[in-house]
Structure 1
């Protein structure tokens, strides 16, 4: 295991560094594959923040973050978060293999309302990040989102090669957004319509009367 410990806005401590490395090492042994660990320990508004991220040789990222009044406690809580996810997906993590290419780079923008101009309701761009939409299955995307302890994940669907977003719902279930280019959608609609005309023509040729019909695709309800 490769482990780097970085201190920010606080004085480095060999004792804290060793403690973090020992705690992380116990978790990586459960994964049973090559892992690189990055630990960032910082002081923010009198709170000790521990941010731990593990990256496996299959490009899975496992993240734990916690803050408290004590750095040792923050490290423990962050490691415990990772440990729970590792135990939950232990077999999948061991057998996971990265699928397809490395993924696409997509811009990610964060908006904020300018408080200095209350009459203006239009949000302003305050930060822009690049998101790597890695190629993976929907199931792997859900697992990766859980392992990163986040509420959404942008990825490239390994089956459709389209950019998708999986996200967490308030009730604990998951949602999936599938993005399609307008032209592709129009081509799909035309193809469906043409298929429908051919089917109706075939029925008419057989002397079968067809009434007005409607097709609807609905999402299965959660629960």
Structure 2
């Protein structure tokens, strides 16, 4: 799985990059056919936004999360993506 991490108005530190990579390994345990992940971290005034687009086998998943803390926004983003990836996996099994 390749993770592309982009920051808008924020510097991507090693600890932030490590945190994102650690969280996305959770998704990889649920669905191992994740090809590419594009994560954008954005800061506007007091609002921290994290968004991600995952390229899966036979589909794409997109989610956005906002919070006052960047780490909390990433946690919320991972939860949203986790639900969508599991739903996508169930659809593939049904077909």
Match of 1:64, SS state, is strand
Taking a change above 3 Å as real, the CA distance of residues 24 and 82 of structure 1, as seen in their structure-2 partners, is: same
Q: Is the 2:34–2:54 Cα contact (8 Å) retained in structure 1?
A: no
1:91 aligns with 2:90: yes
How far apart, in 2, do the equivalents of 1:89 and 1:10 lie?
A: 32
> How many residues align structurally?
95
How far apart, in 2, do the equivalents of 1:2 and 1:95 lie?
A: 27
TM-score, length basis structure 1: 0.39
How far apart, in 1, do the equivalents of 2:35 and 2:20 lie?
A: 15
Taking a change above 3 Å as real, the CA distance of residues 94 and 7 of structure 1, as seen in their structure-2 partners, is: farther
TM-score, length basis structure 2: 0.86
Segments of 4+ in structure 1 off by > 3 A?
Answer: 93-96
Q: Who is 1:45 aligned against? A: 45
Per-residue deviation, 1:43:
0.3
Match of 1:10, SS state, is coil
Taking a change above 3 Å as real, the CA distance of residues 65 and 87 of structure 1, as seen in their structure-2 partners, is: same
Q: Who is 1:20 aligned against? A: 20
Match of 2:52, SS state, is strand
How far apart, in 2, do the equivalents of 1:40 and 1:93 lie?
A: 27
How far apart, in 2, do the equivalents of 1:3 and 1:31 lie?
A: 15
**What are the superposed Cα offsets for residues 117-163 of structure 1, whole Å, 9 maximum, x if unpaired?**
xxxxxxxxxxxxxxxxxxxxxxxxxxxxxxxxxxxxxxxxxxxxxxx
Q: Greater relative contact order: 1 or 2 (C-alpha under 8 angstroms, separation 6 or more)? A: 2
Higher helix share: 2
Q: Is the 1:50–1:66 Cα contact (8 Å) retained in structure 2?
A: yes
Higher strand share: 2
Structure 1 portions without partners, runs of 5+: 97-223
Q: Is the 2:48–2:66 Cα contact (8 Å) retained in structure 1?
A: yes
Per-residue deviation, 1:94:
6.1
Per-residue deviation, 1:24:
1.4
Q: What is the root-mean-square deviation in Å for CA atoms of aligned residues?
A: 1.9
Structure 2 portions without partners, runs of 5+: none
